[in-house]
């Protein structure tokens, strides 16, 4: 079985973090969020994966390469202009039709989830559906596309972001789809086309069977800063099953290869220390801090509940709390920095 990860979006809700890094590469506990998705697919036996790219797509291709580091084979569909999620999948029709399996999976490139993919695929095949959606109950349906099921589990209605009190269901569309290849008959070529706005209403109009599999598995779109930061905590608290670095010597710490902590430093978990990162003498790192690969916390600096991207440096004596520091950015201050986004500015041309 093959899969496609949607990786072409701009990620404007995470601005300015995504000005220099595409949203699928935004790190969660030291690994790109798309890397966690690849891990999920591999664990479910899916190792032939297409990724569509557009915004900063070269960075995605350079970072992930051919997929061998993840134990999979990656292919790329480069979009000169955005095609919509369904339009992007349509461009890869030949990839999905090449083989004996007429079933394939599509998942958003900024989702953090441990959804049981196998369960969704089995239900799809058993029901003979053209499209099967993974759905999850939510407290506020107004933030999501909502589906309504009949007693047999087939979808009878869609409702896009209903107003408070007007929702007919609390089952949100997670953007995890399993399709039969006949879905391509309903997606025009070379056209901006979306699943939610175009394909699903068309399938419903034509009487094509659509099924929904409800699950309370962890699922979050890390597309805004609040959820992005919460996702770090959820990983360390074990609320979502992801692959973390090996456990460190202290409870609640995870340390990548080559991470070093000075004897006089204080590291109090939950904390994730990336490969080759360094915590200097007298430094303090604690309370859900995440240090990316090669990140440095210098002498007597403090990092609390903050995320340092790869190569970030917190200079000696600097105090950070509830911050995100961008890739390779150096932070130096004689005053405490709270609730900050510290990134390299994109200079006007």
Cβ distance 327 to 21 under 8 Å?
Answer: yes
Q: Which two tokens stand for residue 320?
A: 């950070």
How would you write the pLDDT of the chain (349 residues) with one tens digit per residue? 999 999 998 878 888 999 889 999 999 999 999 999 999 999 999 999 999 999 999 999 999 999 999 999 999 999 999 999 999 999 999 999 998 899 999 999 999 999 999 999 999 999 999 999 999 999 888 888 899 999 999 999 998 888 888 888 999 999 999 999 999 999 999 999 999 999 999 999 999 999 999 999 999 989 888 999 999 999 999 999 999 988 766 668 999 999 999 999 999 989 999 999 999 999 999 999 999 999 999 999 999 999 999 999 999 999 999 999 999 999 999 999 999 999 987 655 4
CA dihedral for 271, 318, 281, 294, sign (positive or negative): positive
pLDDT at 143: 83
CA angle at 212 for the pair 154 and 10, rounded to the nearest 5°: 135
pLDDT at 248: 67
Task: Tell me the domains of the chain and their CATH numbers.
Answer: 2-236 (3.90.550.10), 253-342 (2.160.10.10)
Task: Specify the DSSP class assigned to residue 181.
Answer: G
Rounded distance between C-alpha atoms, residue 168 and residue 136, angstroms: 14
Cα distances (Å, whole numbers) of residue 205 to 43, 67, 159, 198, 201: 36, 39, 15, 11, 6
pLDDT at 125: 97
CB-CB neighbours of 79 under 10 Å: 18
pLDDT at 245: 86
Strands 73-78 and 48-53: parallel
pLDDT at 100: 83
Look at residues 183, 180, 172 and name the one whose alpha carbon lies nearest to residue 213.
Answer: 172
Cα distances (Å, whole numbers) of residue 144 to 135, 165, 167, 213, 242: 11, 14, 10, 16, 24
Rounded distance between C-alpha atoms, residue 46 and residue 118, angstroms: 10
Rounded distance between C-alpha atoms, residue 298 and residue 331, angstroms: 10
Q: Which long-range contacts (CB under 8 A, 24 or more apart) does 293-302 make?
A: 293/30, 293/256, 297/265
Which tens digits make up the pLDDT trace of 104-128?
Answer: 999 999 999 999 999 999 999 999 9
pLDDT at 251: 66
pLDDT at 273: 96
């Amino acid at each position: 079985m093959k899969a496609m990860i949607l990786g072409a979006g701009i990620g404007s809700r995470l601005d300015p973090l995504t000005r220099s890094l595409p949203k699928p590469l935004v790190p969660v506990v030291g690994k790109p969020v798309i890397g966690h998705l690849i891990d999920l697919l591999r664990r479910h036996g899916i190792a032939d994966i297409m990724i569509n790219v557009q915004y900063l797509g070269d960075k995605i291709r350079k970072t992930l390469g051919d997929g061998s580091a993840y134990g999979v084979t990656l292919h790329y569909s480069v979009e000169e202009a955005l095609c919509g999620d369904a339009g992007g999948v349509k461009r890869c029709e030949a990839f999905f039709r090449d083989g004996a399996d007429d079933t394939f999976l599509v998942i958003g490139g900024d989702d953090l989830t441990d959804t049981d993919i196998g369960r969704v695929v089995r239900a799809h095949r058993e029901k003979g559906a053209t499209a099967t959606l993974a759905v999850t109950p939510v407290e506020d349906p107004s933030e999501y596309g909502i589906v309504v099921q009949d007693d047999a589990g087939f979808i009878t209605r869609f409702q896009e972001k209903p107003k408070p009190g007007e929702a007919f269901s609390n089952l949100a569309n997670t953007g995890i789809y399993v399709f039969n290849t006949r879905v391509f008959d309903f997606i025009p070529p070379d056209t901006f086309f979306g699943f939610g706005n175009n394909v699903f209403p068309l399938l419903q109009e034509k009487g094509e069977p659509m099924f929904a599999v409800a699950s309370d598995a962890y699922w979050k779109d890390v597309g805004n800063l609040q959820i992005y930061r919460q996702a770090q905590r959820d990983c360390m608290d074990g609320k979502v099953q992801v692959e973390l670095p090996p456990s460190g010597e202290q409870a609640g710490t995870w340390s990548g290869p080559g991470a070093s902590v000075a004897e006089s430093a204080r590291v109090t978990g939950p904390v994730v220390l990336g490969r080759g990162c360094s915590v200097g003498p007298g430094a303090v790192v604690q309370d859900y801090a995440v240090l990316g690969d090669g990140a440095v916390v210098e002498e007597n600096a403090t990092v609390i509940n903050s995320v340092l991207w790869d190569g970030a440096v917190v200079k000696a004596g600097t105090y950070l709390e509830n911050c995100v520091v961008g890739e390779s950015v150096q932070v130096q201050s004689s005053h405490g920095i709270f609730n900050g986004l510290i990134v390299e500015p994109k200079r006007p041309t």
